[in-house]
A = this chain, B = another copy of it.
Amino acid sequence: MVTILRGNIIHTPSFGKLETVPHGYLVLEDGVVAGLFEQLPDRYAACPVEDFGEKLILPSFADLHLHAPQYPMLGMGMDLPLLEWLNAYTFKTEARFADTDYARRVYRSLAAELIAGGTTRVSMFSSRHTDATLILMEELERAGVTGYVGKVNMDRNSGVAQETTEESIRETLRWLEGCRFEHVKPILTPRFTPSCSDALMAELGRLAAERDLPVQSHLSETTGEVAWVKELHPECGQYWETYAQYGLWKPGTLMAHCVYSDERERSAMAEAGVWAIHCAASNVNICSGAAPVRRMLEEGLSVALGSDIAGGDQLAMSQVVVTSIQTSKNMAMETGEPFLTVPEAFYLGTAAGSRYFGGGEGFAPGHPLHAMVVDESAFPEPARELTLAERFERAVYLMDKSSIAAVYSEGRRVK
C-alpha cells in the first residue's frame, strides 16, 4: 500500500546537515519510506496524496531517558537538594504505582501527551512494579509510542520504593513473561549502582546475555553520586566498571547524564558502543552540572537526548532541544568550543534516537516513517518571506502540541 505525504519536508540526514524539499513528496510503501521527491514520479501518479499544503513535515522526536512514574510530580520540588527531592517526592510518588488503576490513568495521559508533543520513540524507566510497568507498555503501544520500557530494579538504598533481591529478580522474570507488545519492548533497568546489590547486578547481567536484552541506567550524574559509588565499590577504578563487571556495559547500553564522565570513562563508552543520554533540563534543575556534549561527539560517542522528567521539567522534546542548545551555549561561553546549532541539536533529539532503534537518520529510505507535521499558522507573521531553514529553526523554538497537526509513528498516523 502506497501513502504519499505532501508538504514542506525538512530533515537532518546526518549530524549538522539540514535538507529541505519545498512542497515535496514523501512516499511510503506499507508505512516504510520509499523516497523523498521534489516532483512526484509518474509511477505514483494514481496514488492518493495527503496534502499538508504549506505545513512543515519533520522527523518526530525520540526521548531516550525519562521516568514514567515521575510524570505526576512534573515541575515540583525543584528548589530542593537532590537527596531531599528523592525522599520527599520521587520515591513516594513511584510507590503510588502499586495501584494499577492510578497507573492506568497516569500512563494513559502520559502516552497521549507524548504523541501530542511529537515524541514517537522512547526509552523509559518505569517503577519497580511489574503490573504497572505492563500497563505502561500497553498504554504506549495503544497511543503509538514505540521503543523500550524497563521495570526498575532497586534492592538497596531506595527508601519506601525498595524491593528485596529475590523479589526484584522474580518480578523481573514475571515482567519479561508479560512483555508481548509489538512496538514496545523490554529493557533491563538497574536504577543505578547505589540502588542495586552485587547479587542483583550479577543476575541482571546474566539475563542480559542469556536473553540478549538491552540495558539502561544512570552514570556520573553528580559529584556526590560518583563519590558514593567509589565508596560502595572500592574494587572498581571508575563508576562505569560497576556496570561492566556484571556484563551490563555492552553495545546499545544507555547511560543517562554522564556529566562527570572523564576522558577514560568516555573512551570506555566509545569502545563498548555505550550511548550517553544528555538530559540538559534535569542537569540544571537539580544543579548536577553540564555534560560536555560537543566533546563527546568529537570523541565519537553516540549521544541522544532525554527529557528526564521529572528532574527535567519539560516533557515536550522541542523544549528539550532548545534547553540543550542553551546549555551548550553556557558551556561555549566558558570553554570557547562551538555550541550546538539548531540543526545539530534537532538531530540529537530525533535522528540520533532513531539510529539507536535501528531506524534511519532523517527520512532515510527503507525505514518506517516517524514524523510530525507542524502548522505555523499561530506563529507571528514574519517581516518577509522566510526560507525553509528559517521556518525550521523557528518551529523548533516555537512549536508546542497545539501547533503539531499530525504525527506518524512506525508508518502509521497516530495524531
Chain A residues at the B interface, C-beta cutoff of 8 Å: 71-79, 92-93, 96, 102, 105-106, 109-110, 281, 284-285, 287, 289-290, 313, 322-323, 325-326, 329-330, 332-333, 339, 341-342, 379-384, 386, 390, 393-398, 400, 402
User: A91 to chain B: closest CB distance in Å?
Assistant: 11
Task: Please tell me if the beta carbons of B383 and A72 are within 8 angstroms of each other in the complex.
Answer: yes
A394 to B313, CA, bound (A): 9
Closest 10 CB pairs of A and B: A75-B397, A96-B383, A93-B383, A75-B394, A72-B383, A313-B397, A284-B326, A79-B341, A75-B398, A72-B380
Most chain B Cβ neighbours within 10 Å, of A76, A313, A339, A402: A76
Q: What B residues does A339 contact at CB under 8 A?
A: 287
Chain B residue with minimal CB distance to A286? B329
Q: What B residues does A93 contact at CB under 8 A?
A: 383
Q: What B residues does A341 contact at CB under 8 A?
A: 79
Q: What B residues does A397 contact at CB under 8 A?
A: 74-76, 78, 313
Task: Please tell me if the beta carbons of A74 and B380 are within 8 angstroms of each other in the complex.
Answer: yes
Task: Please tell me if the beta carbons of A284 and B394 are within 8 angstroms of each other in the complex.
Answer: no
Chain B residue with minimal CB distance to A109? B380
Query: Which DSSP category, helix, strand, loop or mixed, fits chain A's interface?
Result: helix
Q: What B residues does A285 contact at CB under 8 A?
A: 326, 329
User: A290 to chain B: closest CB distance in Å?
Assistant: 8
8 A–B contacts, CB within 8 A, in A order = A74-B394, A75-B396, A75-B398, A76-B386, A78-B397, A96-B383, A106-B380, A313-B397
Question: How many protomers of this protein does the assembly include?
Answer: 2
Q: What B residues does A287 contact at CB under 8 A?
A: 329, 332-333, 339
User: A404 to chain B: closest CB distance in Å?
Assistant: 14
Q: What B residues does A110 contact at CB under 8 A?
A: 380
Q: What B residues does A402 contact at CB under 8 A?
A: 402
User: A102 to chain B: closest CB distance in Å?
Assistant: 8
User: A319 to chain B: closest CB distance in Å?
Assistant: 9
Task: Please tell me if the beta carbons of A384 and B78 are within 8 angstroms of each other in the complex.
Answer: no
Q: What B residues does A395 contact at CB under 8 A?
A: 75
Q: Which of B73, B281, B396, B400 contacts A383 (CB 8 A)?
A: B73
Task: Please tell me if the beta carbons of A78 and B109 are within 8 angstroms of each other in the complex.
Answer: no
A281 to B93, CA, bound (A): 32
Task: Please tell me if the beta carbons of A92 and B381 are within 8 angstroms of each other in the complex.
Answer: no
Given contacts A71-B380, A110-B380, 9 further A-B contacts (CB under 8 A): A74-B380, A75-B394, A76-B397, A78-B393, A79-B393, A92-B383, A109-B380, A109-B381, A290-B330
Task: Please tell me if the beta carbons of A325 and B383 are within 8 angstroms of each other in the complex.
Answer: no
Task: Please tell me if the beta carbons of A73 and B333 are within 8 angstroms of each other in the complex.
Answer: no
User: A243 to chain B: closest CB distance in Å?
Assistant: 26
Chain B residue with minimal CB distance to A393? B76
Task: Please tell me if the beta carbons of B329 and A382 are within 8 angstroms of each other in the complex.
Answer: no
A165 to B364, CA, bound (A): 57
Task: Please tell me if the beta carbons of A72 and B313 are within 8 angstroms of each other in the complex.
Answer: no
User: A25 to chain B: closest CB distance in Å?
Assistant: 27
A285 to B379, CA, bound (A): 19
